[in-house]
Amino acid sequence: MTGTGLTAADTVQAMNPDCLFCRIVAGEIPATVVYSDDGALAFTDLNPQAPTHVLVVPRRHFVDIGDLATDPEAGSALLAGIRGTVASLGLSAYRTVFNTGAAAGQSVFHVHAHVLAGRRFEWPPG
């Protein structure tokens, strides 16, 4: 099954047991969860780059944003998770970043959105 409405069995089948974020989604590794719905989970980043730095991940394993694009329903669920996260945190201004590939700074190969807020951001980013 794709996207939202996953059963526990669907989630387990969609997991990569070697993936840190899959293990967080499964509750095997603790995290400070700030938002959760059927399609996404948001938790605080352990190495924050802004006063508010949250990672929003799909509950299913996708390597990067290109991989996620193969499943529009899961992509929509991730965007809805970002919307829910910023609403639950009361954010009106924030930056969302997707790193794709090691050379771009991706260190966990489970697609995730960085939601950053609480300070001024310059353009272009560093």
DSSP letter (8 states) at residue 103 = G
Dihedral of alpha carbons 54, 56, 61, 64, sign: negative
In this predicted structure, what is the pLDDT of residue 113? 98
User: Which residues are the active-site residues?
Assistant: 112
Domains of the chain: 8-117 (3.30.428.10)
For the chain, the distance separating the N- and C-terminal CA atoms, rounded to the nearest angstrom, is 39
- The whole-angstrom separation of Cα 25 and Cα 74 is 15
The CB-side HSE value for 109 (13 A sphere, CA atoms) comes to 8
The model's pLDDT over 5-51, given as tens digits with 9 standing for 90+, comes to: 544 444 444 789 899 999 999 999 999 999 999 999 999 999 999 99
Nearest-5° Cα angle at 86, 82 to 92? 130
Q: Provide mean pLDDT across the span 73-101.
A: 97
pLDDT at 60 over 90: yes
In this predicted structure, what is the pLDDT of residue 1? 31
- The whole-angstrom separation of Cα 106 and Cα 72 is 22
Residue with tokens 């951001």: 121
Contacts 24+ apart (CB under 8 A), 26-35: 34/85, 34/88, 34/89, 35/81, 35/84, 35/85, 35/88, 35/89
pLDDT at 103 over 90: yes
